[in-house]
Structure 1
């Protein structure tokens, strides 16, 4: 279901079928990137990519489940960071694996 501002809501789906956090984005990848940043980060992108985790996002109002491999790593904050920002930040990336349709 598309919201008035053009964004869609996606629910993080666990392996057992339970659904928890909601992420919004205009595209499924945008929501998946937000979900990826919540993973436990490792110290480099190369290591993180090797330890990719599968995440499943169900688009609210539909039976579509978007499947991604996701990984997160810790990186230095940019030089022009605001004063309140800490020295390290968590970055994430995803790779789409496909779409499944629920049969519930």
Structure 2
């Protein structure tokens, strides 16, 4: 398991540059997957709408840009009792990195 010092924080940015949420992860993709699961899920992966998400790495001028989508899926048969029958899954595809001038 990764230590806290290996974790990095990424702020979710909207089109106007406002940062609403912070996701942590060892890599930008890990944080983007967490953010993708918060999207409005579709009924299946093939029906999911793709959305662009932008994550600014805290302490840097880098903005990681991903195409993200989420869908609902039936939970596995061996799920714990507390887990709901439908779970939200997400996926992301990296589009690039942007460098900000004004922070």
Q: TM-score, normalization: structure 2? A: 0.94
Partner in structure 2 of residue 22 of structure 1: 22
Which secondary structure does the structure 1 equivalent of 2:31 belong to? helix
Partner in structure 2 of residue 35 of structure 1: 35
Deviation at 1:5, TM superposition (A): 2.6
> Residues of 2 paired with 1:5 and 1:29: CA distance?
17
> Residues of 2 paired with 1:43 and 1:19: CA distance?
28
RMSD: 1.0
Question: Of 66, 69, 77, which aligns to 1:68?
Answer: 66
Question: Of 51, 58, 65, which aligns to 1:53?
Answer: 51
Consecutive unaligned residues in structure 1, runs of 5 or more: none
| Runs of 4+ with deviation above 4 angstroms | none
Deviation at 1:36, TM superposition (A): 0.1
> Residues of 1 paired with 2:5 and 2:33: CA distance?
19
> Residues of 2 paired with 1:64 and 1:85: CA distance?
36
Q: TM-score, normalization: structure 1? A: 0.93
